Structure formats: structure tokens, C-alpha cells
Amino acid sequence: MASEHKPTQTMAANAEKGLALRERFHRGGTDVGVKRAQQIVDGHAMSDADVKSMHAYFARHAVDKDTHAHQWGNDEDPSAGYIAWLLWGGDEGEAWADRQRAAIAD
């Protein structure tokens, strides 16, 4: 039976920030990222498949931190990658996804 994984409050705060920055700057994230952010903000439990998806997202997008257009971590001129990263829960989301993924039996 699949388990459910509850996102943290820090992840929710990061996702909310990502949604606000996306609205303000009109960049960052996809429709999938926006849906993931809303799922995190709403505090919905995540399935094993969600955790695996999040783990894969963070693994693929860690390279986005090496941006030269706009700035990673800057709320006044954020990179699209930074905004997208926040939508998925930010650094806390990455650490959480790593922990949750390690607990899932394949």
C-alpha cells in the first residue's frame, strides 16, 4: 500500500512565495509547478508517485542555480529557475523529497 507524505510549513511558505513572485514577474515554473505549489500550500498529502516526481524535479533542476539571467535568491530580480524551485517547496522541499524518497520501497 502506498504511503502518504505531508509537506512541511516551510515548504508551504516557499511555495506561496514562489506563486507571488511568479505573479509579480510573469516568469518561472510551468502549469505542473503551479499545481504542485498549490498542493503544497493546501497541505495535501503527497503520494509515493508525487514524492518520486519531486525528487526527480530537484535532481534535474539543481543546475538552474547557476543562472546568469536574473538572480537566484533575489526577490527583486529573481531568475525563472528560482521561482520554479520555490513552487516545488524550495530547498526545504528538496531535502524533504530526498528524505521521503529514501523511505519508499521500489
pLDDT at 34: 97
3: in domain: no
Confidence band, pLDDT 50/70/90 cuts, at residue 44: confident
pLDDT exceeds 80 at position 67: no
Confidence band, pLDDT 50/70/90 cuts, at residue 76: confident
| Mean pLDDT over each residue of the chain, to the nearest integer | 89
Domain count, the chain: 1
1: in domain: no
63: in domain: yes
What's this model's pTM, rounded to 2 decimal places? 0.88
**Domain limits at 42?**
9-103
Long-range contact list for 15-20, CB < 8 A, 24+ apart? Answer: 15/40, 15/41, 15/86, 15/87, 15/88, 15/89, 15/90, 15/93, 16/41, 17/86, 17/90, 18/83, 18/84, 18/85, 18/86, 18/87, 18/88, 18/90, 19/87
44: in domain: yes
